[in-house]
Amino acid sequence: MGIAGIAMLAGVVAVLALPALPSGQGVLLIVGPLALLLGLWRPARKCIWVLVGFAWCWFCAQQQLNLRLAPALEGRDLGLSGWVASIPQIRSEYASFEFAVEQLDGRAPGRGIPRLVRLSWSDPASVPAAGQHWQFKVRLKRPHGYMNPGSFDYEGWLFRHGIGATGYVLRAPVKIFAGGDRFPLLRARAATLQAMRAALGDRPFAGVAAALAIGAGGAIDAGQWHVFQNTGTAHLVTISGFHIGLVAGLVFLLVRFLWRRSAWLCTRVPVPVAGAYAALLAASLYAAMAGFSVPTQRSLIQLAAIAGAVLLRRHARPWDMLGLALLGVLLLNPLSAGEVGFWLSFGAVAAIFYVFSGRLHLKRGKLMQLVRTQWAVGIGLLPLLVYFFQRATLVSPLANFVAVPVYSLLVVPLVLVGAVFLGVWPWAGALILKLAAGILAITWPLFEHLANMPAAQWNAPEPSLLLLACAVAGTLWLMRPRCMPARWLGVLLLLPLFVHRPQVIPEGGFNLALLDVGQGLSAVVRTARHTLVYDTGPAFSESDTGQLVVIPWLRSRALGTPDLTIVSHGDNDHAGGLRSLRAAWPDMPVLSGAPAQVAGAQRCVRGQSWDWDGVHFEMLSPAAEDPARGNDASCVLQVSGVSSSALLLGDLMHEGEQRLLRRDAARLGSDVLVVPHHGSRTSSGTNFVEAVAPRVALFPVGYRNRWGFPNPQVVQRYRDAGASLLDTVSSGTVEMHLWPGQQPVVVSRWRLDHARFWTAE
C-alpha cells in the first residue's frame, strides 16, 4: 500500500505542477501506451498507480476549471439563487460565506456557471444562516488573488475548494425562501457554534473552544493566532489527526472500561471489537463536525483500517495503514495534495513512524516517548516548514512539550464533553466549557512569553527544490537510530537550508520589487546591506496587505526590520499596511508626505538624501512649503545606482508633476518608473513622460478595479515613449535588478514564472 500511495501521489503532483492542463486526447496519448507497457512488465506494475493519479487528478482539475465563472459574466448584475454552504463569518462591516448555486442568471451550474461561489455582504439586514435558501442580486468575478513570494495562494485555495467565483451581494431586494433548507450537518455545526458563543459570551478563549469543537478556526482572535503560530502550536487548535486519534483513543478506553463491567456484553461482543466500533463511530462524528478536512480524512481512513484489522484479527502494519490513508485521501480529492496541511499531516505521521519503526520493543517511559515524538515531528517537518513558510519556530519543542499534555488530557476532552452537554444539560455544558477556557487562560501567559521572545522565530529565504530534497535526506539520516554510524552526515545535508542566501547584490546596484497588493502600491528597494519599503498597500476591516503581502515577502528573502519605510501619503491603498509592519517592527523609522495622517511619521522633504552601499537616494518632492495633504503631497523618491535609476512617485497627479518639471526637469530621467497614481488619466502627462523617458514602466493596479486603471490613453503614452510595460495584474510581483555595468533586467514576474493551470489568465 505504501508504494502504491507514493506512486499515486507522484502522478497527482505531476498534474498540479503543470502551467496548463493537456487536452483529453493528450492525456490518452500519454497514459494509454504507458499503462499497456507497465501492465506487461510485471516488476513495474505498481507504478501504474502513477498513471492512475495523473489521470484522476487531470479529470478532477478539468471538471473544476469548467465550473469557473464565464468571463462574459464578470462585473454584471446577476440573479443568484441557492443555499448558504458555510457558517457565515461575521465581521464588523460585512458577512462572508460560501454559497451553493441553484441558478445563476437563469442557468443551472455547468460550463461557465459555478457550483459554489464565495460572497461578501456589507451590512446585511438579516445575517444569512447556514443551509438557508436565498435569492438575491450579486456581482461576481473569476477567482483572482495576490501573487507574491511568501504569500498565501488564494487562487489555489479557491480552486481546491471548488469555488468558481467570488463577489458581493448588491444593495438590492433579497429574498429568503421558507423551508427548503439544506446541509443538515452544516446546520448542526452552526447551532453548536451559536450555543457555545451563548455559553462562553465574550470570554477570551471562546474562539479557541469553537475551533476545537467544530473546526471554526475563523473564530480565533488574530492575536491568539499570532501566538499559536509563533510557538508552533497552531496544530493543536486546528482539528487534525491528533484530535481524531485522541477522541478515538479516549472513547476506546471508556468503552473498554464499561464493557468489562458486564459479563453478558463480553460474551456477545468481544471488548476489542466493541471498542473499535465505538472509537470509529466517535471519530467519524467528530470529523464530520470538523468538516472532513484532509488531516481528519487521513486519520479516519487509518482508524477504519485498524478497526478492520481488529475485527479480522489481522496485524495492522503502520506503513500499510499510512499508505492506505494516502490512497484514500487522493481518491476522494486528488486536488487536496496542493494543500500545505496535506503535506504537514502525512509528513508528521511518517516522521513518527520512521522514528519508532522497529524500535517499539524498547522499554521507555511515557515522558521519553513524548520527547521522542516531539523530536520526530520537529526535525521531520523542518524542511517542509521552511519551504512553505520560510521560517521555523525555535521555541516549538518547549511550547509543545507543555501544550500537548494540557490540550490532550484536559482542554480537548473538556471542550468536547461540554459541547455535547450543551444539547442535554446546557448549564452543565456551559460550566465545563468555562472550566476549559479557564485552563487556557492559566497557561496562556507562558505561550505569550515564548511567542514574544526575540529568538522565537528563525527566518530563511525560500529554498529551491534541490535544497529541499537535500534537507529531507538530512532529516531522514539524522533520525536514524543512535547505533547507526555517521549520523553527523544528516547535519551536513541540513546545513545548506540554514546558511544559503539569495544572490548577493553588488555595491552600487540595487533590486526593485513591485509587490502585488491589488489596487494599491507597495515596493521594496534593496541594496547590498539595506532595505527600504515604499508604501504598504491597503488595509481591510480585519487585515491588511502589510500582513498578507509585505511581511511574507520580506521573510521569503530572509530580511528583518526595514531600514526605512516611506508612506508616500495618507490614502488607505498606500498607508493601510503600515499597522502590521509597525506591529512586527515597532522601532522601524517612517517618512511620509502626510505625517498628520500617518501617526509617528516624519515628513519627507525635497532635498533629503542619503547613500547606502554605493546607491544614492534623494527626495525630489514635496518641498517644505508645499501642502502636506492630498495626492500631490506624495513622497517622490529617486534611487540612483552606478548604472541605473528608478523613480517612485506614489499618487502624484498633474499639478505635482508640473511642480517637479519646473524644479527638476533635467534630473527626472530614470530607467525604471513606478507609474504615478496607478496610471490614471489625471497623471502621467505627455511632458512628464517625455522628461522621465523610462525604459520600463511598472503599473501597480488591481484586478478589475472600479476606476478602470490603467487608463488606455496613459498606457499608449508610455508605449509611444518606447517603454516596456508591466503591471501587477498580469505579472504579480515584478522583481528587477539594476546593477552596475548592465541595463535594468526583469528577473521575475511571479504570476508567469510560477504559473499553474488554475491561475487566472
Chain segment 420-440, per-residue pLDDT in tens: 999 889 999 999 999 999 999
pLDDT at position 751, please? 95
Same domain, 561 and 646: yes
Per mean pLDDT, which range of 167-171, 257-261, 309-313, 730-734 is the poorest? 309-313
User: Domain end: 156, 182, 208, which one?
Assistant: 182
505-533, pLDDT tens digit by residue? 999 999 999 999 999 999 999 999 999 99
Residue 93 lies inside a defined structural domain of this protein: yes
Residue 759 lies inside a defined structural domain of this protein: no
77: exposed, middle or buried (Cβ count in 10 Å: 0-12, 13-18, 19+): exposed
Average the pLDDT over 571-593 and give the result. 95
Average the pLDDT over 245-271 and give the result. 87
Residue 690 has pLDDT above 70, yes or no: yes
Q: Which residue has the higher pLDDT, 260 or 684?
A: 684
The DSSP code sequence of 382-442 is HHHHHHHHSEEETTHHHHHHHHHHHIIIIIHHHHHHHHHHHTT-HHHHHHHHHHHHHHHHH
Residue 625 lies inside a defined structural domain of this protein: yes
Domains contained in the chain, number: 5
Angle between helices 465-478 and 488-499 (to 10 degrees): 150
Q: How far apart are CA 419 and CA 200, in angstroms?
A: 11
Q: Is 111 left (phi over 0), alpha (psi -120 to 50) or beta?
A: beta
Residue 125 lies inside a defined structural domain of this protein: yes
Q: How far apart are CA 483 and CA 438, in angstroms?
A: 45
Same domain, 444 and 590: no
Same domain, 472 and 569: no
Is there a contact between 338 and 18 (Cβ–Cβ < 8 Å)? no
Same domain, 356 and 443: yes
Same domain, 679 and 745: yes
Cβ neighbours for 500, distance < 8 A, ≥ 6 positions apart: 460, 461, 463, 467
pLDDT at position 322, please? 86
User: Domain end: 22, 46, 66, which one?
Assistant: 66
Kindly report the CATH number assigned to the domain that includes residue 175.
Answer: 2.40.50
Residue 176 has pLDDT above 80, yes or no: yes
141: exposed, middle or buried (Cβ count in 10 Å: 0-12, 13-18, 19+): middle
Sign for the CA dihedral angle at 186, 192, 194, 196 comes to negative
Residue 737 lies inside a defined structural domain of this protein: yes
Same domain, 429 and 526: no
Same domain, 601 and 570: yes
Same domain, 10 and 89: no
Kindly report the CATH number assigned to the domain that includes residue 553.
Answer: 3.60.15.10
Query: SS3 letters for 294-357?
Result: HHHHHHHHHHHHHHHHHHHCCCCCHHHHHHHHHHHHHHHCHHHHHCHHHHHHHHHHHHHHHHHC
Residue 505 lies inside a defined structural domain of this protein: no
Enclosing domain of residue 606: 510-753
Same domain, 314 and 327: yes
Average the pLDDT over 489-502 and give the result. 84
Name the band, by pLDDT with cuts 50, 70 and 90, for residue 303. Answer: confident
Cβ neighbours for 46, distance < 8 A, ≥ 6 positions apart: 3, 4, 7
Same domain, 376 and 480: no
CA angle 391, 394, 397 (to 5 degrees): 125
Same domain, 490 and 594: no
Per mean pLDDT, which range of 14-18, 188-192, 193-197, 369-373 is the poorest? 369-373
Same domain, 486 and 580: no
Residue 226 lies inside a defined structural domain of this protein: yes
Prediction pTM value: 0.90
